Amino acid sequence: MEFPLINYWAVIVAAGSTFALGSLWYSPLMFEKPWMKELGFTKEGMKNTNMLKVYGIAFILMFIIAFNLAAFIGTESDWKYGMMAGALAGIGWVAAAIGVNYLFERKSFRLFLINAGYMAVSLTIMGAILGAWH
């Protein structure tokens, strides 16, 4: 596949979709409290974080993930194939890789489910966007 065939607008939107999901996933409505507890974070301690830097680098990394997923899915797909490919990549590659790291780092299974779940759902949504919009 030639890179010019990749729809960069779709890649940008797919990368951005992870922030929409993350704002819900890591909110008080879902997993904010258990995530913070598992990591030993406090709201007070997080106030000293340079969030512009965190979000900026996170967007670059999500852009790279979306770009690679777009190249993997190709231009002859639809949203269903993209969603399936994203789910398989999210569960079979990303979540599994996170799981290996968590085993050796001795992180909790609960934290694994929160973070790996977020990535699996993120890639599923990315795949649907990229599959539908080429």
- What are the tens digits of pLDDT across the range 22-49? 999 999 999 999 999 999 999 898 888 9
Q: Cα separation of 18 and 60, whole Å?
A: 12
The whole-number pLDDT of residue 5 equals: 86
Distance from C-alpha of 74 to C-alpha of 2, rounded to nearest angstrom: 10
- φ, ψ (nearest 5 deg) of residue 62: -70, -35
Task: For residue 28, count other CB atoms closer than 10 A to its CB.
Answer: 7
- What's residue 48's pLDDT? 87
**Global pTM?**
0.93
Q: Domain segments of the chain: what residues?
A: 3-132
- Residue 61's identity, in one-letter code, is L
Rounded to 5, what percent of the chain is helix, strand, coil? 80, 0, 20
For residue 119, the model assigns a pLDDT of: 98
Residue 2 has pLDDT above 60, yes or no: no
75: its two tokens: 């231009």
CA distance 56 to 33: 24
Angle (nearest 5°) at CA 20 between 6 and 37: 125
